[in-house]
Amino acid sequence: MQQQPYEPVRADAVPDASPNRSPAGSARVLVVDDDPTVAEVVAGYLDRAGYVVDRADDGPTALTRAAAHRPDLVVLDLMLPGMDGLEVCRRLRGRGPVPVMPVIMLTARGDEEDRVLGLEVGADDYVTKPFSPRELVLRVESVLRRTRPAAAERPPAAAGLTVDPAARRATKDGAELALTLREFDLLAFFLWHPGRAFSREELMHRVWGWDFGDLSTVTVHVRRLRGKVEDDPARPRLIQTVWGVGYRFDAAGREAD
């Protein structure tokens, strides 16, 4: 028997939205999945959690809906008919304003290659089917929490790089950088901690907030961030690999030993 792509649970297992949170003022989430059962379950849980939910069952429809009503976050299935989720994510990233809208990718396969491909095209998080809708709602809340404006103090500028946590904007030599949610958080963390080496496990815990997970997530995001902040990503001077440890941010931009 085919395994269900979600965890069957009672409809009343998800708390109702807070009475102080009106639908009109809630975050808008676009759910893109060609499986009507999965889409209905996910949309139902998000709706009960207080989100405004829009749905699409293929890539072109998703792009049209996103253009008509810009979502605050997209839950995007990898395996879509015609235009797959990777291409949809690329197009969302290529045409949206900065900062780009966050994307959580759904994949029916547990292969590392699929997860890495999703992260490579700019997905901020991923959930592997079968999944618990309640877990997905928590992932949505976690990602959106990081996108909300904050009154946090700006980390120090270094090597021509600056980040503005309240505006969620980053610049290099005055030019704005098109960073995903996690890339922004990773850069801000490095700027706060120059000269210190961090393992991938530490970065996953302190930047992603996860106590465990696929460490290739960190590797992919470091590689993508290098491509946007390094003059020569093949010979990084700012985000350096510390062999046997992890990564270190060198504010002076010196060549690694």
Using a 10 angstrom Cβ sphere, with 0-12 exposed, 13-18 middle and 19 or more buried, the burial of residue 255 is exposed
**What does pLDDT average to over the chain?**
81
Task: Please tell me the predicted confidence (pLDDT) of residue 54.
Answer: 95
Residue 107 domain-assigned (yes or no): yes
Specify whether 22 is located in the same domain as 103.
yes
Mean pLDDT of 34-49: 92
Residue 136 domain-assigned (yes or no): yes
Name the residue with higher pLDDT: 153 or 26. Answer: 26
Task: Please tell me the predicted confidence (pLDDT) of residue 13.
Answer: 36
Residue 223 domain-assigned (yes or no): yes
State the CATH number of the domain containing residue 43: 3.40.50.2300
Q: Which domain covers residue 238, as residue numbers?
A: 161-249
Specify whether 15 is located in the same domain as 77.
yes
Specify whether 75 is located in the same domain as 189.
no
Task: Please tell me the predicted confidence (pLDDT) of residue 153.
Answer: 63
Residue 1 domain-assigned (yes or no): no
Task: Please tell me the predicted confidence (pLDDT) of residue 152.
Answer: 54
Specify whether 124 is located in the same domain as 200.
no
**Residue 179 pLDDT exceeds 60:** yes
Long-range contacts of 14-20 (CB under 8 A, 24+ apart): 14/45, 14/48, 14/49, 14/133, 14/134, 14/137, 15/48, 15/49, 16/48, 17/48, 17/49, 17/50, 18/50
**Residue 1 pLDDT exceeds 70:** no
If one counts the domains in the chain, the total is 2
Specify whether 18 is located in the same domain as 109.
yes
Q: Would residue 198 be called left, alpha or beta, if left means φ above 0 and alpha means ψ between -120 and 50 degrees?
A: beta
Specify whether 52 is located in the same domain as 80.
yes
Residue 111 domain-assigned (yes or no): yes
Query: Is this model's pTM higher than 0.85 or not?
Result: no
Q: What is the distance between the alpha carbons of residues 189 and 191, in angstroms, rounded to a whole number? A: 5
